[in-house]
Each structure stands twice: as structure tokens, then as C-alpha cells.
Amino acid sequence: MKREQLIDRAIAAGIALLLFGWWEVASRSGWISTLAFPPPSRIIANFGVLWDQGFLQKVGYTLGRFAAGAVIGAVPAILLGLLVGSRVRLNRIIDPFIAAMHPIPKIVLFPLFIVIFGVSDVSKLASIALTVFFPAFINSAAGARSISPLYFEVVRNYGGRRRQAFWYVLLPGSAPMILTGIRIAANVGLLVTIAIEFTMTSNGIGSIIWLAWQTMKTEDLYAGVVTLSVIGVLINSTIRYILRQVMPWQAAG
Amino acid sequence: MKREQLIDRAIAAGIALLLFGWWEVASRSGWISTLAFPPPSRIIANFGVLWDQGFLQKVGYTLGRFAAGAVIGAVPAILLGLLVGSRVRLNRIIDPFIAAMHPIPKIVLFPLFIVIFGVSDVSKLASIALTVFFPAFINSAAGARSISPLYFEVVRNYGGRRRQAFWYVLLPGSAPMILTGIRIAANVGLLVTIAIEFTMTSNGIGSIIWLAWQTMKTEDLYAGVVTLSVIGVLINSTIRYILRQVMPWQAAG
Amino acid sequence: MTFAVENVTKEYGGGTGQTAALEGVSFAARGTEFISIIGPSGCGKTTLLKIIAGLVAPTSGRVMLNGAAGEGKVRTSLVFQDHGLLPWFDVLKNVALGLKLQGIAWPEARERARHFIAQVGLERFMRHHPHELSIGMRQRVGIARAFVADTQILLLDEPFGSLDAQTKLVLQQELLRIWRQHRKLVVHVTHDIDEAILLSDRILVMSGRPGSILEEIAVPFERPRTLEVLEASVAGQIRRHIWQVLEAEVKKSLWVTT
Amino acid sequence: MTFAVENVTKEYGGGTGQTAALEGVSFAARGTEFISIIGPSGCGKTTLLKIIAGLVAPTSGRVMLNGAAGEGKVRTSLVFQDHGLLPWFDVLKNVALGLKLQGIAWPEARERARHFIAQVGLERFMRHHPHELSIGMRQRVGIARAFVADTQILLLDEPFGSLDAQTKLVLQQELLRIWRQHRKLVVHVTHDIDEAILLSDRILVMSGRPGSILEEIAVPFERPRTLEVLEASVAGQIRRHIWQVLEAEVKKSLWVTT
Amino acid sequence: SERELTSASMVAEKPQRDRVRMSLPLSVAAGPAVIAHAEGFFADEGIDFEIMRLDANSALLGVASGSLDVFTNPVRSGIFNMIARGTRIQIVADGTHSTAGPCVPEGFTAPPALARRVKAKGLRGQRLATIKGGSTEYLMTRLLASQGLTTADVEMVEYPAGESSTGEFRVLDAVRFNFEPSLTVQREKGLIEMVATAQDVAPGYQRIVIGFGKRLLDDDPELGRRFMRGWLKGVRRYNEGKTEGNVSILSNFTQLPPDLIRKTCWPSISADGMINLDGVRHMLEWMHQAGYLETEIPEAVWWNPDFAVTAARELGDESRAVE
Ligand SMILES: Nc1ncnc2c1ncn2[C@@H]1O[C@H](COP(=O)(O)OP(=O)(O)OP(=O)(O)O)[C@@H](O)[C@H]1O
Ligand SMILES: Nc1ncnc2c1ncn2[C@@H]1O[C@H](COP(=O)(O)OP(=O)(O)OP(=O)(O)O)[C@@H](O)[C@H]1O
Ligand SMILES: [Mg+2]
Ligand SMILES: [Mg+2]
């Protein structure tokens, strides 16, 4: 098992190297536009330059915004999702509202947030939180619905009250779907954070990408993109780690 | 059961009416900004005006774009997700790539699409499809992972081959999570369709909203928003209907 | 404690139409009695136990405790026919579940759980999760969980069905010891007529679906009993009688002739 | 067909450490034999059947068919101990599963499935889903599914454990009829010693975990047999012998004294 | 050092400084405010100045709802419609406008081949990128009109353009509106050529305006005047051109490298705060025809020159000297 995992990691790394290698060659030899797709080596070298300009601090701004918004959105989403998902009638009443609010574009309606929350950072966090809310809610509710009623019977049988059923059944039983929802929500939230930073802030990865566009510094652009990818991979590993701890019998790699 | 459902619908409708009633009064009496939140009655009246300006046709453009992009994105997402989710090692190899690509803003990839697809509608569909892909993939893969190995054993036991296991176990067994993923994906896809239409097209709901902002005609803005909400509710009802058909033992309302 | 099931009826609704599971089930019991229930497959035994435990609502009728309606009022522990182990907990946590839910601190709950886990021969598997156990082992975990909870009413739904004869014997004795020592009401569903004779004060025989009580048979043997009682002629009579009642009931649904 | 299990060993790995389930299990069988396996709970019986069916890979050893390694090569149908009904299919589709997977057209598959569903007394529940059935009814669906598939090897994992005595009897007879008529190899795991005596040509008694074959006992009665054979003295000897072997094995893991 | 003294004494007398929040784009066009802030002109006026980067719609709604005090916005129908609906906002000063000169900060560009074709044979039948409703649509109709064409005579490409655009990275094979800094960057790389400047198409083109909301207009007009003094001082310093100080302040603010800031063309901003009224009137006429304006509103309702006039008078003649 252990060895197989190492081999698979190596295969993934190999594929990544191959892709980047091909990109490097294709860019250097001019098959693909060097402007649009600068060779990876140059992107990496450029990281050094950015580093000296406080790159890490800018990433920190993005992460701070993202984390705050994500937590504000995800925690109530999970709790409400589990509650609604575990009660058929509540679900029937609440679900249409969720369905109606989900497709309302948060970025496009950002100015309305300004009216409600003012021009402060609260408006930005609210958009991120609201974006994170929906996938987390929907998957949590579906997770709650997927739990066999037998398990709730078991807890009631041994004198467990509703609050206890939450900790003993609802939360562990829907953990895989909650975590899958969190994974999607985190990524969507990250995307919205970047979109907000694009036009609404003068710091963070989003503004790096925006500036890079303005000045056609594609290495900077890819620095932003690579950073986002790394964040994405870290989010995902964390979630898989938690999943392995919580659901030992369903751990896939 | 039937009667309970009707009561719940009535409760939901009652809550909605209350909210809109409060909004109407609050807006008319000036407690909330009439500019940012025009009274619902005015929004409804304005629908008539928009109708005469070919509103339905514009909605049609949005739905066309959205449906095309969503199908292009979701079908491979589900198939690939089920494949990857049902094989531990494939999952271990592919998953990091998904995790790395998910948080890349699709607008950043736009130049790539332009290089590949040219300045046509195809590039726009590609953005929508890619956005839809990730939630659909992630939930499908998680759905496949959640199926008890016992069911695969049953099919193998009766001489079923891999292809058959797909139809007999993989697809029905992960249906709830696939459909939950589709629900999230559809909404995210709709949001991106609107974002694309916002600045890149002169038709569709997104462009209605764009023009509404340009001219600060907020009734038009809300016409777009309400239409999106209705589409969201329809998407959701359809998915719940399918779920009830496919998973009779897990049907929640 | 007095206990009575009064005219309980249960209909399941749902997608595929109505299914009548129980019809007018009534019986009474003393608070320290050992009752076994025997009936054809699908006649509503599990449904009846769940109604007594307050987990399923009867369509009509009620469960009386000390003269008042009380489904689920007095604490019961049900050994589920399909084990009902929580897949996210290991054996130890599953067995300690009832204690934890009663608010007993972990060190004490752990020790008490450990005792019963050893009793069912699973000490080595304390840290295993249900999916790593054989079916019989899961059933033993379910039994240990009910034993440790020590409630006034113990409901057992074919608790020994997946166990080998020897293990079954050991656990039957343990069950009797607990019952005698803690003076509780045991309602025990089984398909094994001999087991019912060996263990119970009274045997209720149920009809085919929709289930109702056809006969109540007192088992006259002194306690403690040994396996020898099964060779007594009274045991033979009881066995034959139940056999015949069951045969008639089963033939109604199974048209195949033996 | 010749059949042999050769020196099969199985270790389960996983989160909670290694568990040795089987150790050096060997036995051979003729292609038309009826073999029963008896062993203490958790000794690896289910694991052995799954290895024969090719569903679980042995850690070492192999299953030989007609002299060649062939786990899962010859078609087998296993009646799963935990039923293994697909929750998304109704009873009819579950029973017809094997036929559908063999590419048999729906009208024919449906008719054949319907026949066996009636056989197990569930005609009225054809359109029900597994969650609407009692445990015993689910077990009967699992049996019908295996019977209808009609494969060369039939593997039964405690198939009658949740059935009442009468239903069990009917289905045992049906099993024997199918076995005689279609001349197949049956490997049947049971905890019921009498059932093993009544049905089998040979009984294999397994040791406690890690399981191995302790004894092979031929059952000398003529067929067809009636319940009377159980009263024969040879039956008594076999019963007592198996009982003693099991007792010794079970005592190793259950320290409680009876 | 004199300024430091005054500001110190002001702090001493009046520890409670008034906060003014203003929306600004992340570009050189934010120059006056950024410079005034950095040089302490606002502090001198007892203003605690705060810069907000916001999109145009958020800026307008921010001012309308009182959480923002000064908006920076392109001239567009939304401003006038809001005023017509009774929102208390007014345009109070010039943001940027075009002037004749060698250094052009905005105009229609195209990839070289297309640019040459357009210059030789005109726009008819060529690809033109725009988006409806904004001020770029106005400029585009002017561009077409200058060649006697309408939108029917060209191939319209749906693409983000004008002030909404975030990405200048994509090089589009079409004539499109373009502005700094991507204008300079793309021209340097030889990716585009200028087809027609904004000044060619609409002389004195009023691109950006700044405006006040109720707080500075009615509740505390004195604060509005103080802000305007600081702002105009900033404009004067901005108009000194690409001095070391200005370049470094703007480079800091925009996060663009100093040499790029130096290379780009800085848009003109009038030192007395006056807008190109004729130009705006013409735009309003066009908006009305295009159906973007709900009602016509009198000039006095949307344009309030008083703050700028007063501030310019108080600041004396030195402003004019620079211009
Ligand atoms: N998936 C698994 N992971 C780890 N251990 C397992 C797994 N499946 C079975 N085991 C272990 O293997 C041993 C044999 O299990 P098996 O299910 O074959 O027993 P069995 O003889 O069928 O028992 P029973 O009569 O209780 O059904 C048990 O000790 C069990 O703990
Ligand atoms: N959730 C349900 N929905 C619909 N019908 C159900 C449901 N649960 C049980 N039934 C039906 O009720 C009847 C009684 O079921 P129950 O499980 O009580 O039987 P049982 O006597 O315990 O049978 P067994 O001995 O097979 O366990 C059955 O006919 C079954 O089909
Ligand atoms: Mg039952
Ligand atoms: Mg087993």
C-alpha cells in the first residue's frame, strides 16, 4: 500500500514534468506564443523577482480574505445544511429559497452589497461567504439525507437526544459529502476572492494578475496562477487527510 | 404525505410573500434605498416593458449558451469522475491535477481558449464547460468512492463485466452525489454564463444586467435576477424529480 | 413495572403501496419476564420490537407502561437484527455508545464496554471498525452494546442468528445471567424453537403477515435450565405444537409443497 | 469438473493492523458434491467463499478447477451472508440480475426470475425495493437470485440464518432439488449442525481464526433424506463430534465458562 | 516644512479630522488624489483621506448610500438617470479629458495589419469591438460617423472593451478602444497601432468626472470645499508632469514600474476643475437618442461648478500659471 502510493505520486509528478517540459520546449522553439505562454523556466525565475517585491505578503492578503469569507460562509452552511437535510419538511420549505438564491450572481450584484454593508471589507467578505455558502449547504444537506435512518434509530434507542444525534450520527455520517462540498466551496470561494481582487482591491493575487494583464507581464500572471494551483492542491490534500481520519473505511488513497 | 407536501408549499409561498411584502413597504416608505431596492411591484410592472423588447429571446440566448456549455462540461465530468472515483490508484494520480486546475480563474485561461478556439462563441462555451466540469467531476468521483464494494462484488459474482458494473452499480449507486454535483455545477455554470454575457455579449440575461447597470435602471437589473432565480428553481425541481425516480428509498420530499 | 402492548396495528405506506405489517397485536408482561416471539419471516416481529422501543410509530394501538401510554418512555435497548453498528466508530466506541449517550464519563464507559467486549470474545478487535469484522462478529458487538447499556427492557431481534452453536450457547447463558441478576423484561425474537424453549418463560407465536399473536405458550421448566430440558416430553410437545402452527402459517404464503 | 482449494491463506491488512483470516486451507471436491462448512464465528468462512468466487484475492494458495488455477473462472453464484441486494433495484430486477448480466433478454429473464420469486414466497413484493422488506425477506431474495442464475458452482453463506424453521425447510428442499437436477457443486456455510447433516455429502469443520480445515466428515445417509435421519444414531455421533470440536475451538477465544 | 508646521498645528487644534472616502481606479488617472494624499494636501485641509478601489457602479451606489463621499466615474447614462430619480449626487469636477498633443493616452487601436488597412481604406467591413451602453459606445458611433458609417457597415465583435475591461492581455484582431498602460505596452511590443485617437473622434472628450454625494453637497459643504482645495492642489502638482516625486507616488500607488509610468501618456486634467460642458452635452444628446436616458434633466441639476470655482479662486492664480 505504502509503496503503491509512492509509485502513484511518482507517476503524477512524471506527468506534470512531461507537460511542463513540453511547454518549455514548445515555448522556447516558438510553436506556441512565448508572450501568451512563456517557458516555465522563466516563470520560475520570475518568482525570485516577485519575492523581493513582497509576493508572500500579497498572497497573505488573498489567503486572509479567502479564509475569513470561507469560514463565515461554510460554518453556517454546514450547520444549516445538516439541519435542513435531516428534516424532510424543513427541506421542502427551505430548498426553493436556496435554489432561487444560488444562481444570483454575487460579483455582478456586488454594488448592492455596498449599499448594505458599506464600502468596507465587509462587502467583499460577504460576497466570498455567500459564494462559499451554497455548495457547502447543498452537499451538507444531501449528506444528511443520505444517512440510513437505522443509525438515527440506534442513537434514539440508546436514549440519545437530538443534539447527541448530531455528533454521533449526523456529522460523521455526512462527513464525506460535507468535505466534498467544502472542497468545491473552497475552490469557488477562491475564484471569487480573485475576481474581487481583480477590480476591488489593490493587493492580493487577484491584483497581481490584473496588473500583469495591464502590463502584459505574463510571467507575473503565471506566478499568480501557479500560486493558486498550489493553494488548490493544499486545500485538497488537507480535505483528503481529514477524510481519511474521519472515514477510515472509505479512504481512497 | 400528499397533504403535508401541499402545506409545506403553502408555507414556503407564505414566507416568500411576507418577504416581498416587507420589501415593498420598506422600499415605498424609504427605509431601504428605492434606487438599490425598487419595490417588487415596480419590478413586476417593468417586466411588461421588457417583454415587448424581446426579453424572452434574450433569456433564450442565455439558456442556449448555458445548456450547451453545461452539457459539454458535465457529461465528460461525470464519466471521468466515476472512472477516477472507482479506481483508487487512478484517483491518486489524477486528483492532484484536478485540484491544481480547479482554482485557476477561467478568465485567465481565456487567452488559451482564444488560441485554441479563436474569437468565436466556442471560447465562451469552453469557459462555461470548464466551470461546470469541476463540481460535477468532484462530486461524481466522491459518489463512486462512497459505493460499498459489496455491490461491485455482487455484479462480479454474477459474471458482470466492468462495462456492466457501470450501469448496474456505479451510475445508480452514485446517482445522489452526481445529481447533487450537477445541481451545484448547473448553478456555477449559470453564474459564469452571466459573467461572460456581462461584458462579452450584447444578448442574454447578462447583457440585460450589464445595460441595467450602465443606465442604473435597477428594475431591469432585478428582472434579470428574478429570471435567474426562476431558472434556478426549475433546475432544482428537475434534479429532485430525477432523484425521486432513481433513488426511491432516499427521496426527501 | 407492568407492560402491555394494546391492539397495535402497523401499515407501511410508501412508493410501492400499502403493506399491512401488524394487525391487532396485544399482550401483557410482568416487568421481569423473559418472553420469546416466534413467527414466519416477514410477519412483523422487527416492526413490533421497534414499536415497543418507540422507534417506529404504530398506525393504531399503543404500548402501556405502568398503566400509561409509554412507547419509548422507559429506556429500552434493542439488539438490531441488522446489527446497527455505526460504521464511523470502532468496536469500543460502538459498545460504549449507550453509556456515552447517558453522559457517563469516558474512562468508566470504556472500562464497562471493555468488559462486555471481552465477554463476546472480541477483545483483540476493540479498535477495529465494523467493516473489518465478520457478520457474526458484528452481531456480537451489537449484543455487547445492548448488554452494557443495562436498561429496564431488553429487546433482542434474532440476536444469535449468525453465531455458531457454541458461541450462541455462551451468549445465551450470559443473557440469562444478566436477566436474572438485573431483573429486567426481555422480549426476544427468534426462529429457533429450541432456543425459545430453553430461554423463555412464555413463547408468543405470531401469524403470517399481517402479524398478530396466535398463541401464548408458557414454558413450565424450572430454572436454571440445562440443554437436557429440550429432551423432556413437554419440550417435545411445545416444539411440535409451534411447528404445526408455523407450518400452517407459512403454507399460506409459500405455495411450494415440501 | 474437479475442484480443489490448495493451501489458501488470507491476511487482511488495513488501518488497524494485519488480521490473519485463513491459514493453509485445502480441500478437494467432485463437481456434483454437496459440501457444508461449519466453523466458529469469524473463522474465515465468508472469506473462503469469496476467494472461491474470485471476489477476494488470497494472500497465497489457489483455487484449482479441472487442474488449472481458476478463481472466478468458472461461473459461481454466491448467496451473500449480508444479502447483497442492490438497493436501487426492486425485487424483480435484483433476482433477474444474473440473467441480465448474462445478456438474457428481459422478457425471458423476467419470467424466470418471477418463478423463483414465487418459490420464495415473495410474489406480492416483486416491485418492492430492498429497504421495504424484512431481513428474512431480503435473505430469500438473495437465495432466489442465486437459484435463478443456475451456475456450475453454488456458494451459500448461511443462506437460511434469518428464516423461520418452516420457510427454511421449504427452501432447503428446493435447494436439494436444484442441486440434484442440475448436478452442480454446492459449498454451503452454516452454523446449524443438523442442517449440515441433513443436506451434505461431506461436512468440513474449521478451526477458529485463522481458519483451517480441522476435520472432514462424510455423511453416510441415503438420499432423499427426511428429517428422521437426524434421529439416527450416526447423526447423533456426528453431531456430538462436531459439537466437541467446535467447543474446543470456541473456548480458545471466549474465556467465559458456560 | 511650512506645510508640516501647519498640519501639525491643525492636528493640535483639531484632533478630530474629517474622513473623506473616494473611489479611484488603479491607474494614472487617479493622479491628483493620490498625489494630494501623498503630499499631505488633504491633511492640510483637515481631511483624513481614504482611497477605495471600486468599480464604477459600486462607486455610484456607495456615494448614493452614503458610505462613500466622492465618486470617480466615466461619463455615462447611469449618473444622469440616478440624478433624475432623485439621488442626491452631482458632478463637481473634471476627472480626465482629451487634449491635443503628441502623447495620447486613449484611442482606437488595432493590430498593425488591420490598422494599416483601416487607415488606407476606412472602417467599412472591418471588425470593430465594443460593448453597449458605455461611453465607449458613444466614441465608437463618433468614429463611425466620422467616416459616414453606422454599425451596420462594420463587423461587430462582442468583446470586453472600454472601462469595463480588465484584461488587456488578449490581443484582439479588431479595432477597439484602448488606453494606458496597455496602450504603451502593446505599442512597444509592436502588437497594435493607433487608428484614431479619442481627441480625433471627439475633441476634448470628457472621459472621467468626479462627483459628490449628499454629505459633501448639503450636509457639510465646507468639507466639500476643503476637499476640492486639496484635490485641485493635487491637480496642479499632477500637471507639473513626470517629476521624480509624481512618478514615484504614482508608481507606488499603481504598482507599475516607474519607467513604465514615465513612458505612458498621462491624461489631461483641468487645473480649475472645469469639465468640457459642450462635450458632455453632446454625449447626453446621444444617450437620449440611444434610449439610455430616462428623462432629460437640466444642466444645473447634474453639474455643480461652485466647489471648483471657489477652490480655484482661493488657491489663486498659480494654478493657471501651470496650465
Ligand atoms: N475487510 C476486512 N478487513 C479486515 N479484516 C477483515 C475483513 N473482512 C474480514 N476480516 C477479518 O477476517 C476474519 C474472517 O472473517 P470472515 O467474514 O471470513 O468470517 P466468517 O467465518 O464468515 O465469520 P461469521 O461466521 O461471523 O460470518 C475476521 O476475523 C474478520 O475480522
Ligand atoms: N420501511 C418499510 N417500508 C415498507 N414496508 C416495510 C418496511 N419495513 C418492513 N416492511 C414490511 O413489513 C412487514 C414486516 O416486516 P418486519 O421487518 O417487521 O418482519 P419480521 O417479522 O421482522 O421478518 P424477519 O423475520 O424476516 O426479520 C414486511 O412484510 C415488510 O415488507
Ligand atoms: Mg425481522
Ligand atoms: Mg461469514
Contacts of C143 in chain D (CB under 8 A): none
Residue range A25-34, pLDDT digits in tens: 988 998 877 7
CA distance D192 to chain C (A): 7
How far is C-alpha E172 from the chain's CA centre? 24
Query: E272 by DSSP, 3-state: which?
Result: coil
Where is D63: in which H helix or E strand? strand D60-65
Give CA separation, E246 vs A169, E43, E260, E264, in Å.
64, 18, 13, 13
Q: Helix, strand, coil % (nearest 5) of chain B?
A: 85, 0, 15
Give first-to-last CA distance, chain A, whole Å: 9
Q: What is the mean pLDDT of residues C131-155?
A: 92
pLDDT at C73: 66
CA nearest C93 in A: which residue? A168
Residue range C162-219, pLDDT digits in tens: 898 888 988 999 999 999 988 899 999 999 999 999 999 999 999 988 899 999 999 9
pLDDT at E7: 45
E66: left (phi over 0), alpha (psi -120 to 50) or beta: left
pLDDT at C108: 94
Confidence of residue A242 (pLDDT cuts 50, 70, 90): confident
Confidence of residue E12 (pLDDT cuts 50, 70, 90): very low
Is a pLDDT exceeding 90 seen at residue A150?
Answer: yes
Is ipTM strictly over 0.85? Answer: yes
pLDDT at E1: 39
Confidence of residue E2 (pLDDT cuts 50, 70, 90): very low
Q: Identity (one letter) of the amino acid at D18?
A: Q
CA distance C148 to chain D (A): 16
The answer, for B159 touching chain D at a CB cutoff of 8 Å, is: yes
CB contact under 8 A, A153 and C77: no
The answer, for B155 touching chain D at a CB cutoff of 8 Å, is: yes
Which cell goes with E63?
A: 456615494
Residues D141 and D133: beta-carbon distance below 8 Å: yes
Residues D116 and D147: beta-carbon distance below 8 Å: yes
Q: Identity (one letter) of the amino acid at E285?
A: E
Quote the Cα angle for E130-E133-E135, to 5°.
Answer: 75
**Ligand with an atom nearest the CA of residue C162:** 1
Q: What is the mean pLDDT of residues A202-218?
A: 84
Nearest CA to D210 among D58, D4, D20? Answer: D20
Confidence of residue E5 (pLDDT cuts 50, 70, 90): very low
Which of C56, C97, C131, C151 has the highest number of chain A CBs within 10 A, making it the mutation to test binding with A?
Answer: C97
pLDDT at D208: 87
Residue range C76-125, pLDDT digits in tens: 899 999 989 999 999 999 999 999 999 999 999 999 999 999 989 899 99
Task: Answer whether the bond into residue A172 is a cis peptide, omega within 30°.
Answer: no
Which of B125, B193, B214, B217 has the highest number of chain E CBs within 10 A, making it the mutation to test binding with E?
Answer: B214
Q: Which residues surround ligand 3, an ion (CB under 5 A)?
A: C 46, 81; D 134-135
pLDDT at E169: 42
pLDDT at A1: 56
Nearest CA to C132 among C141, C120, C119? Answer: C141
CB contact under 8 A, A228 and B115: no
CA distance C194 to chain A (A): 29
Q: How many other C-beta atoms can be found within 10 angstroms of the C-beta atom of residue C229? A: 18
- pLDDT cut 70: percent of chain E above it: 88
Give CA separation, D201 vs A181, D172, D187, in Å.
56, 14, 11
Distance (Å, whole) CA E199 – CA E143: 11
Confidence of residue B197 (pLDDT cuts 50, 70, 90): confident
Residues C159 and C170: beta-carbon distance below 8 Å: no
**Shortest-distance Cα residue to atom 18 of ligand 2:** C44
Which cell goes with B123?
A: 471560447
Range D38-60 burial, b when 16+ CB lie within 10 A, else e: bbbbbbbbbbbbbbbbbbbebbe
Q: In terms of pLDDT, which residue wins out, B173 or C71?
A: B173
Dihedral (Cα; A93, A98, A100, A105), 10-degree rounding: 170
Residues B253 and B8: beta-carbon distance below 8 Å: yes
CB contact under 8 A, A229 and B100: yes
Distance (Å, whole) CA E256 – CA E252: 7
Q: What is the distance in A from the centroid of ligand 2 to the CA of D32?
A: 37
Nearest CA to D58 among D7, D4, D8? Answer: D8
Residue range A5-26, pLDDT digits in tens: 889 889 999 999 999 999 999 8
Mean pLDDT of chain A: 89
pLDDT at E298: 92
Is a pLDDT exceeding 80 seen at residue B159?
Answer: yes
Is a pLDDT exceeding 90 seen at residue C1?
Answer: no
Distance (Å, whole) CA B223 – CA B243: 30
Residue range B79-113, pLDDT digits in tens: 999 999 998 889 889 999 999 999 988 877 776 67
**Minimum-distance ligand 2 atom for the alpha carbon of C16:** 4
Chain A meets chain B (3+ C-beta pairs below 8 A): yes
Contacts of C72 in chain A (CB under 8 A): 156
pLDDT at E162: 36
- Rounded to the nearest 10 degrees, the angle between the axes of helix A121-145 and helix B171-200 is 160
Of C5-19, C40-54, E205-219, least confident by mean pLDDT is C5-19
How far is C-alpha B140 from the chain's CA centre? 15
Q: In terms of pLDDT, which residue wins out, E319 or A187?
A: A187
- pLDDT cut 70: percent of chain C above it: 95
Is a pLDDT exceeding 60 seen at residue C10?
Answer: yes
Residues B103 and A232: beta-carbon distance below 8 Å: yes
Q: What is the distance in A from the centroid of ligand 3 to the CA of D133?
A: 9
Q: What is the mean pLDDT of residues E87-92?
A: 94
Instruction: Kindly give, in sequence order, each residue whose CB lies less than 8 Å from that of residue C70, ignoring residues fewer than 6 positions away.
Output: C63, C64
**Minimum-distance ligand 1 atom for the alpha carbon of D10:** 12
The shortest CB-CB distance from E85 to any of B35, B202, B207 is to: B35
CA distance A253 to chain C (A): 17
Residues of chain D with pLDDT under 50: 256-258
Residue range A42-54, pLDDT digits in tens: 999 998 888 888 8
Give CA separation, D25 vs D6, D13, D69, D208, in Å.
7, 19, 15, 12
pLDDT at B123: 79
Distance (Å, whole) CA C24 – CA C7: 4
Q: What is the mean pLDDT of residues E13-21?
A: 76
CB contact under 8 A, E61 and A112: yes
pLDDT at C112: 94
Give CA separation, E10 vs A239, C227, C247, E5, E220, in Å.
55, 105, 106, 8, 19
Residue range E231-288, pLDDT digits in tens: 999 999 999 989 999 999 999 998 888 999 999 999 999 999 999 999 999 999 999 9
Residue range C205-237, pLDDT digits in tens: 999 888 999 999 999 998 888 888 888 899 999
Q: Which residue has the cell 419470467?
A: D111
Distance (Å, whole) CA D180 – CA D168: 18
Beta carbon pairs, A and D, within 8 Å: 3
DSSP string of C135-185?
HHHHHHHHHHHHHHH--SEEEEESTTTTS-HHHHHHHHHHHHHHHHHHT-E
Q: What is the mean pLDDT of residues E144-164?
A: 73
Residue range D223-241, pLDDT digits in tens: 888 888 888 899 999 999 9
The shortest CB-CB distance from A232 to any of B92, B103, B146 is to: B103
Contacting E residues, span 126-185, partner chain A, CB-CB under 8 Å = 166-169, 181-182, 185
- pLDDT cut 70: percent of chain B above it: 94
Beta carbon pairs, B and E, within 8 Å: 69
The answer, for B149 touching chain C at a CB cutoff of 8 Å, is: no
- pLDDT cut 90: percent of chain E above it: 48
Give CA separation, D183 vs B158, D150, D154, D179, in Å.
19, 10, 11, 5
CB contact under 8 A, D101 and B164: yes
Which of E24, E37, E49, E58 has the highest number of chain A CBs within 10 A, making it the mutation to test binding with A?
Answer: E58
Q: Which residue has the cell 416481529?
A: C45
pLDDT at E157: 75
pLDDT at A253: 37
